[in-house]
Amino acid sequence: MKSLANKNILLGVTGGIAAYKSAEIVRHLKKSGASVRVVMTKSAEEFITPLTLQALSGNRVSTELLDTESEAAMGHIELAKWADGILIAPATANTIARLSSGRGDDLLSTVTLAFDGPISLAPAMNQAMWRDNRTQDNLNKLLTQDFGICGPGSGEQACGDTGLGRMLEPLEILEIFSSSFDKGVLSGKNVLITAGPTQEPIDPVRFITNRSSGKMGYSLAHAAIEQGAQVTLISGPVNIEPPSNCNVIAINTAKEMSDAVKHHIKEMDVYIGTAAVSDYSPAEVKDSKIKKAGDNSSMILELKENEDILKFVSELEDRPYVVGFAAETDKLIENAENKLKHKKLDLIVANDVSDKSIGFDSEENEVTLITKEEKQLLKKQNKKKISKKIIEFISGRINEQNN
Ligand code: PMT
């Protein structure tokens, strides 16, 4: 964890079962040298007492918007001026909704309105509430307004459900929160990345897919986050843990990926299409398992073309910087250049997927970055290093555009 020594940290505690972990967050913040003040919502007091957090932080806990004991009864302004950073942990679905609509009807929401520095949220809620479109919309709005996010994690929940929505452990939260004080080259930028394969159902038990593992897209997400970007990752089914400080949207089919991209593309500064999106899906999905004829006859499966998501993004009127990947088995550069032109991209990353040691489901990759003006070969190396260089290249180009 990066040092928080001499930083003034305001911890907002809202009403969820994970509020008991706030005590540990206060303890770790103090241990790392930060001064801590705590603001609690009314419902947070049902889960943990102000006295506990007061004893651990060494400061009076604030709960009221109109507090006669605070300077000129304007506790929210005083707290907003005092804080270097605000961490809200746990952040309930209700708090996220209220913050996204700019409400100022309690002390915590008012302080966040009056505060100019980094604010991070550690969401904690039931998995269905987390997945709900309204929560995702509210969160997305906050992310595009420079709020940071720590988690949530996946696993067993207090209510017995399993899935995304669990608050991260205190040290995991503080690891992410402390890095929000560093400014990277993509600081303040919103980046949307698609990753992994799609699955196109044929019947209830079969689908068409490909060998994408998601490694390339996930390491790009890590590299963009390291450079201070706010990342939304739309991912097909893969077996990798996503970075905890980005908004992850899980999809299965190309249509679901396309819908999710359309839902989140507004306000994005960069779009990176790493996903191996199926070009076709079965024209008809059977309701029950297809039985074999058993007479050695062949079976014809009719396919229909899926929408080209990358092309949709590059044709938007107010488009982000658009990056596509080209997975080619022959004529690598020629085919990639055609895609750059045809899909009207700013950058295409060409990889030769006929070589088993790079491309699909491998630890390494070798790529050529192609724009209208230049070509740059990034020699074979692991996907983490390649990703860092791709992100550096992209940030260089968007910073040039802005100057
Ligand atoms: O996931 P890994 O195992 O790490 O493997 C990484 C990778 C090989 C999948 C990755 O490096 C890669 O090349 N991704 C693009 C795969 C692909 O579908 O390429 P394509 O040449 O068919 O498509 C070109 C571009 O159009 C891609 O950016 C793709 O995301 C996009 N596309 C394609 C079809 C479609 N319907 N919509 C799209 O947006």
Q: What is the pLDDT of residues 315-334, one digit of tens each?
A: 999 999 999 999 999 999 99
Distance of CA 173 from the midpoint of ligand 1 (Å) = 32
CB atoms within 10 A of CB 67: 16
Q: Please tell me the residue having the least CA distance from ligand 1 atom 27.
A: 325
Domains of the chain (ranges; CATH) run 8-181 (3.40.50.1950), 190-281+303-402 (3.40.50.10300)
214 in contact with ligand 1, CB cutoff 6 A: yes
Joined together, the tokens standing for residue 62 give 């604030």
Distance of CA 230 from the midpoint of ligand 1 (Å) = 22
Residue 117: per-residue pLDDT: 86
> 284-303, pLDDT tens digit by residue?
999 999 999 899 999 999 99
Position with higher pLDDT, 16 vs 64: 16
Q: Which residues contact 398 (CB under 8 A, 6 or more apart)?
A: 189, 269, 270, 321
Instruction: Please state the three-class secondary structure of the chain as a single string.
Output: CCCCCCCEEEEEECCCHHHHHHHHHHHHHHHCCCEEEEEECCHHHHCCCHHHHHHHHCCCCECCCCCCCCHHHCHHHHHHHHCCEEEEEEECHHHHHHHHCCCCCCHHHHHHHHCCCCEEEEECCCHHHHHCHHHHHHHHHHHCCCEEECCCEEEECCCCCEEEEECCCHHHHHHHHHHCCCCCCCCCCEEEEEECECCEEEECCEEECCCCCCHHHHHHHHHHHHCCCEEEEEECCCCCCCCCCCEEEECCCHHHHHHHHHHHCCCCCEEEECCECCCEEECCCCCCCCCCCCCCCCCCCCEEECCCHHHHHHCCCCCCEEEEEEEECCCHHHHHHHHHHHCCCCEEEEEECCCCCECCCCCEEEEEEECCCCEEEEEEEEHHHHHHHHHHHHHHHHHHHHC
> 198-249, pLDDT tens digit by residue?
999 999 999 999 999 999 999 999 999 989 899 999 999 999 999 878 999 9
Residue 162: per-residue pLDDT: 84
Joined together, the tokens standing for residue 209 give 């897919």
> 35-63, pLDDT tens digit by residue?
999 999 999 999 999 999 999 999 999 99
* Ligand 1 binding pocket mutation candidate from 198, 259, 306, 310 (most atoms within 8 A of CB): 310
- Whether pTM > 0.85 for this model: the answer is no
CB atoms within 10 A of CB 110: 20
21 in contact with ligand 1, CB cutoff 6 A: no
Catalytic residues: 159
> 5-36, pLDDT tens digit by residue?
889 999 999 999 999 999 999 999 999 999 99
Residue 6: per-residue pLDDT: 86
Residue 69 has pLDDT above 70, yes or no: no
> 332-346, pLDDT tens digit by residue?
999 999 999 999 999
Residue 68: per-residue pLDDT: 64
Q: Please tell me the residue having the least CA distance from ligand 1 atom 13.
A: 327
The label of the residue with tokens 């992209």 reads 394
Closest ligand 1 atom number to CA of residue 211 = 3
**pLDDT (average), residues 113-139:** 94
CA distances from 299 to 160, 306, 335 (A): 45, 22, 32
CB 6 within 8 A of CB 33: yes
For residues 162 and 366, give the distance between their C-alpha atoms in angstroms, rounded to a whole number.
38
Distance of CA 359 from the midpoint of ligand 1 (Å) = 10
For residues 13 and 26, give the distance between their C-alpha atoms in angstroms, rounded to a whole number.
11
The label of the residue with tokens 């966040």 reads 112
* Ligand 1 binding pocket mutation candidate from 251, 277, 344 (most atoms within 8 A of CB): 277
* Ligand 1 binding pocket mutation candidate from 311, 325, 341, 386 (most atoms within 8 A of CB): 325
At residue 13, φ and ψ (nearest 5 deg) are -115, 125
Which neighbouring-strand residues pair with 121? 88, 149
Distance of CA 196 from the midpoint of ligand 1 (Å) = 9
